[in-house]
Structure 1
Amino acid sequence: MILEVLGSAVLGLVLAWAVGRRLSHRLPTRPLVYFTGLAGALFGDFVTHSALGPGSALPSLLGAAIVATASLSLLLRPSRHLRRRSAPA
């Protein structure tokens, strides 16, 4: 159980680091990104572990990765290259 929690925490931090490196221009500050990845992974691990029960480490890590990715995607701001056109009246 402890290794599962540590694994999901590391997974969340690695995902946050990767997203921060790739999309740094569309994200808020780095500490917020790291905290969101960590919290999302721990919450995803908790929910998956609660639903499946003990002895399911790999699905719990998969659930942690999914929730961490979803929570990190909520931090993305629109790209500056996006042009908005108004509809013709």
Structure 2
Amino acid sequence: MILWEALGSVLIGLAVSWTALRRLPARYGQFRSRPLALATGPVAALFGALLGHTVLGPGHTLGTLGVSLGVTVALLSLLLRPAGRPRRSATA
């Protein structure tokens, strides 16, 4: 069962990162690096699945995959660069 959770979470991570790269409009910002975003998705999902499996225990596959999805979305959101003009620093 753990193998299916791991495989499912990696597929979720790939799907979320690919969809985010393709579908996010420019007004929300852009990703710093396309390969970094594609690599972060599966790794974050696998970490989320490990965390979910540890907390929820065996037999909660849907809950584990839900935690995996949440961690993936949270970590991918950290890679977004805001749209618009860059801020000036206080020292400039």
Q: Output the TM-score relative to the length of structure 2.
A: 0.83
Distance 2:42 2:23 in 1: 18
Corresponding residue number in structure 1 for 2:22:
21
Secondary structure, in 3 states, of the residue corresponding to 1:37? helix
Q: Measure the CA separation in 2 of the matches of 1:72 and 1:63.
A: 14
Within-5 A mapping of 1:38-53: 38-53=42-57
Root mean square deviation of aligned Cα: 1.8
Q: Which runs of 5+ in 2 are unaligned?
A: 88-92
TM-score (structure 1 length as normaliser):
0.85
Q: Which runs of 5+ in 1 are unaligned?
A: 85-89
Deviates further, 30-39 or 20-29: 20-29
Moved over 3 A (4+): none
The count of corresponding residues between Structure 1 and Structure 2 is 83
